[in-house]
Structure 1
């Protein structure tokens, strides 16, 4: 049984709070990114109209999605870090982040499919979108793009989380060398998160384009293979197509990273002020 003093429960609550804060506050940027990456193009997908289409599914799914990720991530760190030499801790961070993504995508993928189809068809209701997915693909339809999402999220996390941890460690070492205490404020953690998120977002944009195209594909004869989708985009649009939506994606994840990690750390410090998770 969990209680409020349980570190696992705190990770779950903190991750959920962080997810809601990001997904709701930055939703318009996500919509613009999705429309830029769609096959029909930005203007035919709605342009700047109805930029809050799909907010409902995103709001409902953001808390459990982020909570599952951070609960898994922090649990693995907590178990493994005390037994691992300092130089191998980035490997633990990468493994923990990968496990977190595999777990979180069970929640994330159905939410993403419904949300993104609403974003490119703003006049269609959420119920209509859900009904259409169920009629065309059943339960499997809600997991269309699961593996392409993992192929985006795992490389993203392999870059983001070790970089985030490294930036925090560097900043703490710098503060120690100048005689300050050896902990960072929530805002300082948020800055590290913004930098790590922005770099990771830019580098993984091609996988995000492929994931978006696959999730938006309603043609049963269309390809859902990542390699073929990337090849098609490159042939038709070149490098520019592979990095479609990179600016709103980087802005969304950089600002979102600052909010996400800041809210996550602040919530943890509020619920468990004496607890410091292993680095």
Structure 2
């Protein structure tokens, strides 16, 4: 991958990330509060819907940029040695590497954001200071494993499906898809991936919001899923699935469409 292409992927990914995260922040807040252990109303309901937005504003660009520069570079390297039937595997591997790298930036931002979303009266800086004072830097990375375990299955579904739908649409119309068509493919792929990975998202939210020192705070995803199943059953595992699907479908449309269009302009 040429340096110019790498810089285009980095810039386009960062810009797309900021756009989608800020536009869809209210839906993300509703989803987080639906998944929180204290319940939607006690977590704030529809009040303070932009609580935690500074954390997202700061983390969005580097997070999305890190994902796409990793995704495009790994995909470029693997494409040299892969045949057509292995293309979906290439996309899966590239997306997985991208998520592992991006989560190094995403998780601290996500921890602060989600704690602010369920405690709207506390400011973002206060939550950051409290977390660092009581838990240290490891407190900001609580839920890293659960986030990676959520994001990799999500990407294993979303990105191969997105690339497949783009290729299918390109073949049907006889030319490469436009950016808006890529966005439509991204919306469908994202919504489907969001639905099937919601239980992992609920577990990640519970781990990040758990009281320090509790069993859930240890980060055991299977234990978190088991606890949710025992206390709330299937509805608990799929708490917030509708706003999650809505946010990620819209997010996929905006995010991947903006990414494609910006990358085309930069190249």
Which is further off, 77-86 or 44-53? 77-86
Distance, in Å, in 1 between the alignment partners of 2:47 and 2:222 is 32
Q: Secondary structure at the match of 1:83?
A: coil
Matched, 1:193 2:186: yes
Deviation for aligned residue 1:221:
2.6
2:122 corresponds to which residue? 124
Q: How does 1:254-269 map to 2 (within 5 A)?
A: 254-269=249-264
Deviation for aligned residue 1:154:
0.2
2:100 corresponds to which residue? 102
1:72 aligned residue (70, 73, 76): 70
Deviation for aligned residue 1:79:
1.7
Distance, in Å, in 2 between the alignment partners of 1:207 and 1:107 is 19
Distance, in Å, in 2 between the alignment partners of 1:102 and 1:255 is 23
Distance, in Å, in 1 between the alignment partners of 2:231 and 2:114 is 22
Deviation for aligned residue 1:83:
2.3
2:265 corresponds to which residue? 270
Distance, in Å, in 2 between the alignment partners of 1:162 and 1:122 is 37
2:145 corresponds to which residue? 147
Deviation for aligned residue 1:100:
0.1
1:216 aligned residue (191, 194, 209): 209
Matched, 1:230 2:228: no
**For residues 197-226 of structure 1, what are the alpha-carbon distances to aligned partners after superposition, in whole Å with 9 as ceiling and x for unaligned?**
000000000000000000011231332311
Alignment TM-score, normalising by the size of structure 1:
0.93
Query: Unpaired runs of 5+ in structure 1?
Result: 177-181, 273-279
Q: Secondary structure at the match of 1:184?
A: coil
1:275 corresponds to which residue? none
2:27 aligned residue (21, 29, 32): 29
Deviation for aligned residue 1:38:
0.3
1:90 aligned residue (85, 88, 91): 88
Deviation for aligned residue 1:135:
1.7
RMSD: 1.2
Alignment TM-score, normalising by the size of structure 2:
0.97
Deviation for aligned residue 1:77:
1.2
1:252 aligned residue (247, 253, 257): 247
Distance, in Å, in 2 between the alignment partners of 1:58 and 1:222 is 27
Query: Unpaired runs of 5+ in structure 2?
Result: none
1:172 corresponds to which residue? 170
Q: Secondary structure at the match of 1:6?
A: helix
